[in-house]
Structure 1
Amino acid sequence: MTVKELARDAVLARTGLPTPEPGLDITVPIPSQRLQNLVELARTLCGQPVTAINIITENLQYQVATAGMEPYLCSREDSMCAVGFLNGTPTVLEDASLDPRYSNNPYVDGRRGEVRFYVSIPLVAEDGFVLGTLCAGARETGQLSDRQLKGLEILAAEIVEALQLEHRARQLADALTEAQRSNTLLAEFAGRISHDLRNPLTSVLGYVELARDDAEALEDRQIAEYLDVVANSGQRMLSMVSDVLSYATIGGDVRPTCLSLQDLVRDVVQDLAASIEEYGASIECGDLAFTADPVQMRVLLQNLVHNAITYSRPGIPPVIHVTGHRADDGTTLRVIDNGKGISEGDRKRVLDPLVRLHREDDPPGTGLGLATAARIAAASGGRLEIGPVPGDGTMVTIRLGANS
């Protein structure tokens, strides 16, 4: 095989079309509706009984769409289109039997057919390589006007574009399948790791609690302080395990249902009652009916409200507003606070997993709260954005998909 043919086969491979070896059976691909429409349009345009879209490999010619005939497979040696397609220019013959290049071809001399009128338009990819042809033929001699030839050339360009678009669609479908498989494996792995880490950590924390009781009974303050450090570290590790598991499993099983924003926030307030009391926070919420996964929406709002509480300014009680509205393009939720805010340069960065700002007086955390919220928004067909509010504070906007 020449270098040029190797390069051309590489281009064919990028279209996702088969490039079979000689002697091997090939199932001719079922044409897409778009390709079938284009080849039918070509037949109407040129007024000939038969048209076909041919792909030519190093050794074979096969057809991905035909009009007026059944698709077939033949060797490149027997192919009429393979004779001159690599020159990149159209071929138009009133009578192929009179052309010495075609007169002995089995599709002309009667062995397989008796083609007389013949036109072939090369399918030229954007990098200049020729994938095959758009051809038309008839048993009778015929002619083609300049306008018909120009129309076939336009259709040939559309066919190349269609082949490329279909390949990209297949690539995206394959990538989506692989991403879903990877997410499933990640969730399973995270679940196993979470289980394997939770048990020993819980056991360690249990024994630390017993040891703290003994240390207090013996009035050994030094040991009690050490055990406090161990207990706090263990609790942080346990919290991180839970956050990692939550982040890894988001989006795997979305079950949309009709929700009330007020009811969701009421549940969140109950879950965060201790933090709300500790910081003296107040939370206001308007109502809105929208569609989303109830479990994931509760996790999203809980993460955002918890951040709004704990990342407050020293000495200033947190005031949090949760709002929502619906439009033609979907549902928008907002969580607005009067806290420390997030600088413009950090607003995208903090949505990445395990990213924390480490500012003065910031509470401890795993750096997964905002990342989890952003992933939930994406799983719902939307996105999460962070912006400022007048004065001090942060506004987190959750834009859900059109089906919300």
Structure 2
Amino acid sequence: MSRDSQLLEYGLPHLEPLTVQTGPGTPDTLGQLQKLLVLATSSTGIPFGAVNIITADRQHHVAALGIDPGVCSLEDSMCASVFLRGETTVVPDASRDPLFRDHPFVTGDVASIRFYASVPLTTAAGFVLGSLCVFSPEPARLSPDQKTALEIIASQVVEVFELQHHARMLARSLDEARNSNALLESFAGRISHDLRTPLTSVIGFSELGEMRNPAEAEDFRIIGRTSRRMLAMVDDILSFSRIGGVLRPCQVSLSALVQEVEEDLAFGFKESGAEIRVSDAALHADAEQLRILLQNLIQNAVAYRRLDVPPRIQVTAEAVPDGVAVHVRDNGKGIPAGERINVTDPLVRLHRADDPPGFGLGLATCVRIAQAHGGRLEIGSAPGGGTTVSVILPALALPGSAPTTATADAG
């Protein structure tokens, strides 16, 4: 890779702004460089300073103190003569130095620099970006402590550029992830359409065959059930591909979301005798995706219940050090500790006696929703048996002070 290509990876030499904001940590590179230059000149007592990025044919003052930032050719650059030496250069009087005494920045043709000190800006990988230099029209000297301070400041300048580099890579990764998600959703949509049409036809013909051929009705029923399961899987995969995209956060009530879930799952609640209790909380999240998350967790709590034990589900929220944790606890079969990591992978599910059919996308969908919010999902046990699924979401509002209780009709 050429020198200029490596510099471009850092957004240099022009300190190009990031095309994607990566959050509050997006670096103010120029502002930090200016502060470091102030520190460099004040700690050395030298009035002028510059951070120079050196390309294949130019020196760029990306930050300067006491002079106007500019660009010059390598022939007119003092730093270009020494920045690849790998060590700090200190020249008490450039007019007496063999390397610089005929230089236009020393002779008066461009400037009349006398004192000059330069520290190479070397990355951890050994690539030299340019130099940090301080200079003065008067001869001067640096004490050992001042020289050390200048070298430490130069290392901090490199850290600023590394932060810019990492931010650019993160912005690029975010762009790639968004493009990938868009392609995934488009692909899943096309596949869903292409599969849905023939599956719907198969289901229709199986129902027709069941009516016209009583002797072979069971065979046609098997074909129909299998096709419906496949159609359900197509719908689940399409839904999974769409989760975690653009968020539309707003203020939502945990109790109100749970009530919506109860209404959607009313039939299953009545059959199972399920009861759900929820302590209200004011949350800041994408309402639709959070409702899908809660629906998956509550539906799992009902589906994976213990035989002859009505499901009892508790939904709460509490403040934690890194945000707010929403807990969904049940008294069902539970998930063995050794399986808690695996069951969050797409299309992975436990195979236990009396477990209902499914495709292993419910918990995987919840993980994607949590991650889209910048959070995470954790699985643990519940008091007295069962499962506790905790979704930790950062920067959400604290739980409300007035808990409410919602109880499903046990029918």
TM (norm. structure 1) is 0.87
Query: What is the percent sequence identity of the aligned residues?
Result: 50
Q: Distance in 2 between matches of 1:149 and 1:9?
A: 29
**Match for residue 312 of structure 1 among 284, 305, 316:** 305
Match of 1:204 in 2: 202
Question: Alignment partner of 1:354: what SS?
Answer: coil
**Match for residue 288 of structure 2 among 288, 295, 301:** 295
1:167 positional shift: 0.6
Q: Distance in 2 between matches of 1:193 and 1:40?
A: 60
1:99 positional shift: 0.8
Match of 2:232 in 1: 239
Q: Greater shift after overlay, 359-368 or 253-262?
A: 253-262
**Match for residue 281 of structure 1 among 258, 270, 274:** 274
1:299 positional shift: 1.0
Match of 2:12 in 1: 17
Q: Greater shift after overlay, 298-307 or 377-386?
A: 377-386
Match of 1:214 in 2: 212
Match of 1:156 in 2: 154
**10 and 360 in structure 1: CA distance in 2 versus 1, 3 angstrom threshold:** farther
**Match for residue 380 of structure 1 among 370, 373, 380:** 373
1:387 positional shift: 0.5
Q: Distance in 1 between matches of 2:15 and 2:254?
A: 54
TM (norm. structure 2) is 0.86
**Match for residue 106 of structure 1 among 91, 104, 107:** 104
Q: Which amino acid aligns with 1:342?
A: I
1:396 positional shift: 0.6
Match of 2:407 in 1: none
Q: Distance in 2 between matches of 1:213 and 1:334?
A: 48
Question: Alignment partner of 1:62: what SS?
Answer: strand
Match of 1:130 in 2: 128
Match of 1:228 in 2: 221
> Given the alignment of the two structures, is residue 343 of structure 1 paired with residue 336 of structure 2, yes or no?
yes
> Given the alignment of the two structures, is residue 195 of structure 1 paired with residue 193 of structure 2, yes or no?
yes
The 5-angstrom pairing of residues 236-275 of structure 1 reads 236-275=229-268
Q: Distance in 2 between matches of 1:184 and 1:309?
A: 33
**Match for residue 88 of structure 1 among 60, 72, 86:** 86
Superposition CA RMSD, Å: 2.5
Q: Distance in 1 between matches of 2:280 and 2:294?
A: 14
**40 and 378 in structure 1: CA distance in 2 versus 1, 3 angstrom threshold:** same
The answer to whether the Cα contact below 8 Å between 1:28 and 1:72 also exists between their aligned partners in 2 is: no
The answer to whether the Cα contact below 8 Å between 1:49 and 1:137 also exists between their aligned partners in 2 is: yes
Structure 1 stretches lacking a partner, 5+ long: 1-5, 19-26
**1:202-227 deviations in Å (ceiling 9; x for gaps):** 23322322322323xxx32xx21111
The answer to whether the Cα contact below 8 Å between 2:283 and 2:396 also exists between their aligned partners in 1 is: no
Question: Alignment partner of 2:80: what SS?
Answer: coil
1:188 positional shift: 2.4
The answer to whether the Cα contact below 8 Å between 2:373 and 2:393 also exists between their aligned partners in 1 is: yes
> Given the alignment of the two structures, is residue 394 of structure 1 paired with residue 387 of structure 2, yes or no?
yes
Match of 1:182 in 2: 180
The answer to whether the Cα contact below 8 Å between 1:279 and 1:309 also exists between their aligned partners in 2 is: yes
**258 and 9 in structure 1: CA distance in 2 versus 1, 3 angstrom threshold:** closer
The answer to whether the Cα contact below 8 Å between 2:272 and 2:311 also exists between their aligned partners in 1 is: yes
Q: Distance in 1 between matches of 2:124 and 2:311?
A: 58
> Given the alignment of the two structures, is residue 353 of structure 1 paired with residue 351 of structure 2, yes or no?
no
Aligned length: 386
1:12 positional shift: 4.7
Q: Distance in 2 between matches of 1:232 and 1:17?
A: 61
Match of 2:50 in 1: 52
Q: Which amino acid aligns with 2:356?
A: P
Q: Distance in 2 between matches of 1:159 and 1:307?
A: 53
Question: Alignment partner of 1:308: what SS?
Answer: helix
Q: Distance in 2 between matches of 1:165 and 1:94?
A: 33
Q: Distance in 2 between matches of 1:80 and 1:152?
A: 18
**129 and 323 in structure 1: CA distance in 2 versus 1, 3 angstrom threshold:** closer
The answer to whether the Cα contact below 8 Å between 2:185 and 2:241 also exists between their aligned partners in 1 is: yes
1:257 positional shift: 2.5
Match of 2:22 in 1: none
**1:340-380 deviations in Å (ceiling 9; x for gaps):** 21111211111111112222322211111001011112222
